[in-house]
Chain A
Amino acid sequence: MQMPADYRFTEELPFLDFRIRWHSNQQLPIDILGEQFLYSSLSAGADVRDSFDFYIDIIEDSDSDASWNTALQHRYDANEKLLYLSYLDGAIQVTVDYGPKRVTAKIMERALVYRAALGNWVLTIPLSELLKLHGIYLMHAACLVKDGKGILFAGRSGVGKTTLAIGLLTMGWQLVSDDEIFLQSNPELLAHGGPERAKVSWPTWRRFSYYLGEQDRYNGKQIIHLGDHFPGQVTNRHAITAVCFVGQSDRVTICPLDPMDAYRRLLSVAFLTSEPALTRQNNDFLYRFSREIPAYRLHTSLDFKALDAHLAQSILHQ
């Protein structure tokens, strides 16, 4: 792959036991990614297990009137062994090269307005592909801990994972992540918080303004570190003892799921298709997960006291 020469701006940051090296032709994307993300080194003094290079190329453009489709398009090229990701109708194009463990992102300048989503597209998803090489898998789930038990709350975007996470924080739970976690068998199932900070919508902010602080109404999402608002209640990782698949309802119900049902639901919240051997490995992991970790269907209202009580009765104290 031909690499443009002008990557004058660089930064090196740790995530888990890995090193991420940013290279860009502008400082701005590195600043945006830096302000949004929590780069946490898992083990103090541990050896770096691997390094990943991210090359970001900001491309000037003049068309500012375009409206974009934010859906992800992706394609794995088996001949080149490259994964192509495309967002905003091609305004952001990302390539993952598994051999040299390198990510290249070409970003039209006007696409930088998508600050809250940029990190997911340019960092989290490509990073998750490279972490598969080390048996670490991304999942769309919040992770919270109480009484020493870690529970995953899995669900698609918009189901209310961040609201649920903040609601349980107000009930004294500890937070690993409100949205995305990296899972690893170690040999127990361990969840690491993803690198992104919480993205909070206005209705959720208003609901929890007592904890988050007063704020004028806003559109889109505010990016915050929940640890600033719930000091001492945020942790980097925890072992997992159960998974709940979240849906909305006007009351709280929790029902056990059989492994088959759990597996099919896990497939829908995991990021699966890329290099086929890695996808097979990821699928093996989800299969083991579904057979070893108790799974539940959780329908919940915004009554977090009731949710806390139901979780205690049905899962934590089982």
Chain B
Amino acid sequence: MKYIHCDNIDWKEFDDESVLLNLSTGYYFRLNQVGTFIWPLISREHTIGGIADRVMEKFDVSQRQAKTDMHDFIEQLLAEQLIQKA
């Protein structure tokens, strides 16, 4: 499964953290270090499974943990209309 960023989302990075701003609603969302790593990878080039593998390598977590966290994060981004299916 692949996802892409929705239109009108602006991303600002600060060291290990970042903020997503929905330019249509003005709502903004803080991303932690893992979310900041994942956000730029969400694109037509990467499957969710592929991103989870990279999270596992980068943050030294189990595959199961990476997939669970990835699933929760994607659900949250979808609910906030920050990403959509590719």
Q: State the CA gap A51–B24 with chains docked (Å).
A: 27
Kindly identify which residue among B15, B26, B30 contacts A272, using a CB–CB cutoff of 8 Å.
B26
Q: State the CA gap A212–B12 with chains docked (Å).
A: 45
| Contact between B12 and A287, CB atoms less than 8 A apart | yes
Whether a CB of chain B sits under 8 angstroms from the CB of A259 is: yes
The residue on B at minimum CB distance from A282 is B23
Interface positions, chain B 23-63, Cβ under 8 Å from A, are 23-26, 28, 30
Interface positions, chain A 58-84, Cβ under 8 Å from B, are 76
The residue on B at minimum CB distance from A74 is B26
Q: How far is the CB of B56 from chain A (nearest CB, A)?
A: 26
Whether a CB of chain A sits under 8 angstroms from the CB of B75 is: no
Whether a CB of chain A sits under 8 angstroms from the CB of B10 is: yes
Whether a CB of chain A sits under 8 angstroms from the CB of B65 is: no
Whether a CB of chain A sits under 8 angstroms from the CB of B80 is: no
Q: Which residues of B contact A263 (CB under 8 A)?
A: 12, 14, 19
Per-residue CB contact flags for chain A residues 243-273 toward chain B (1 = under 8 Å, else 0) read 0000000000000001110011001000011
| Contact between B19 and A273, CB atoms less than 8 A apart | no
Q: State the CA gap A283–B20 with chains docked (Å).
A: 11
Q: How far is the CB of B36 from chain A (nearest CB, A)?
A: 11
Q: Which residues of B contact A264 (CB under 8 A)?
A: 19, 28, 30
Task: Given the known inter-chain contacts A280-B10, A283-B10, please indicate yes or no for A273 contacting B26, CB distance below 8 A.
Answer: yes
Q: How far is the CB of A59 from chain B (nearest CB, A)?
A: 30
Q: Which residues of A contact B12 (CB under 8 A)?
A: 263, 283, 287
Whether a CB of chain B sits under 8 angstroms from the CB of A279 is: yes
| Contact between B23 and A283, CB atoms less than 8 A apart | yes
Whether a CB of chain A sits under 8 angstroms from the CB of B8 is: yes
Q: Which residues of A contact B10 (CB under 8 A)?
A: 279-280, 283
Whether a CB of chain B sits under 8 angstroms from the CB of A203 is: no
Task: Given the known inter-chain contacts A264-B30, A272-B26, please indicate yes or no for A283 contacting B21, CB distance below 8 A.
Answer: yes
Q: How far is the CB of A6 from chain B (nearest CB, A)?
A: 36
Q: State the CA gap A279–B15 with chains docked (Å).
A: 23
Q: State the CA gap A259–B13 with chains docked (Å).
A: 10
Q: State the CA gap A260–B19 with chains docked (Å).
A: 8
Q: How far is the CB of B31 from chain A (nearest CB, A)?
A: 11
| Contact between A259 and B24, CB atoms less than 8 A apart | no
The residue on B at minimum CB distance from A291 is B14
| Contact between B14 and A76, CB atoms less than 8 A apart | no
Q: How far is the CB of B12 from chain A (nearest CB, A)?
A: 5
Q: How far is the CB of A152 from chain B (nearest CB, A)?
A: 20
Q: State the CA gap A280–B24 with chains docked (Å).
A: 10
Q: How far is the CB of A101 from chain B (nearest CB, A)?
A: 21
Q: Which residues of A contact B17 (CB under 8 A)?
A: 260
Chain A CB within 10 A, most for which of B15, B25, B28, B30 = B28
Q: State the CA gap A128–B13 with chains docked (Å).
A: 27
| Contact between A273 and B30, CB atoms less than 8 A apart | no
The residue on B at minimum CB distance from A287 is B12
| Contact between A273 and B25, CB atoms less than 8 A apart | yes
| Contact between B23 and A260, CB atoms less than 8 A apart | no
Q: State the CA gap A258–B24 with chains docked (Å).
A: 27
In the complex, 15 of the A-B residue pairs with CB atoms within 8 angstroms, ordered by the A residue number, are: A260-B15, A260-B19, A263-B12, A263-B14, A263-B19, A264-B30, A267-B26, A272-B21, A272-B26, A273-B24, A276-B23, A276-B24, A283-B12, A283-B21, A283-B23
Interfacial residues, chain B to chain A (CB-CB below 8 A): 8, 10, 12, 14-15, 17, 19, 21, 23-26, 28, 30
